[in-house]
Copies of this chain bind each other. A is one copy, B any other.
Amino acid sequence: MCEKKIPKSVIERLPTYLHYLKSDMFKNNEMVSSVKLAKIVGYGEVLVRKDLAMVSGTGKPKIGYNKNELVMKIMEALDCVKMKNAIIVGGSHFDSALLLDESFSEYNIFIKAKFEINYNGSFNRTNVFPLSDLKEYCKKEDISIGIITVGEKDAQAICDLLVSLNIKAIWNFSPVKLKVPENVKVKEENMAASLAALAANI
């Protein structure tokens, strides 16, 4: 296998390149230059060139890159050609925001359902279920991503549950550093900490 390892920093920029390449900004362009792309995304042009070289490497001097080829290559690198499904295990205000947000479909990711610890059956909300249904749901559907928005005290237990259900990537909105096996990816998305860091030294 020639699984060329793409650095995390690059992987994190690829979605942005993809977004702009598919946007109206380039709708009339068959070819795209790294210089122009760099200006739009706000990175240095050398950085952009190296990022693109890493996934594609088919640019031509004076011309740039073929846009459609680039889009395809980035999608392959992000492994978002095929659809992926996610579920939320929830208990915070962010749940419904995530559940309703459609911008994830841009990357072929679909948040299919939400499971609540304290399920309140009296509301008839679509795609919201009690936690007890989670196991069966994950067996039936093809769920590879879990989103945790429960409170601090439950987060690790839910995480363990998701791992046991064979979920390979966890997006964690609780302010807890989760412990997972090596083969599971976790992204901590501590909103309060993010804002606090932003607000430091202003």
Query: Which residues of A line the B interface, CB within 8 A?
Result: 8, 11-12, 14-16, 18-19, 40-42, 77-80, 84, 86, 92-94, 96-98, 100-101, 103-104, 106-107, 109, 144-145, 168-169, 171, 175, 177, 179, 185, 187, 189-202
Contact yes or no, B191 A101, CB < 8 A:
yes
Q: How far is the CA of A177 from the CA of B15 in the complex (A)?
A: 12
Q: How far is the CA of A193 from the CA of B171 in the complex (A)?
A: 12
Number of copies: 2
- Residues from chain B with a CB closer than 8 A to the CB of A14 are 196-197, 200
Contact yes or no, A192 B106, CB < 8 A:
yes
- Residues from chain B with a CB closer than 8 A to the CB of A144 are 199, 202
The 8 Å CB contact of A202, one of B42, B104, B185, is B185
Q: How far is the CA of A42 from the CA of B12 in the complex (A)?
A: 22
Check A107/B185 contact, CB under 8 A, given A42-B179, A202-B169: no
The 8 Å CB contact of A199, one of B84, B96, B179, B191, is B84
Check A199/B79 contact, CB under 8 A, given A16-B190, A93-B96, A177-B41: yes
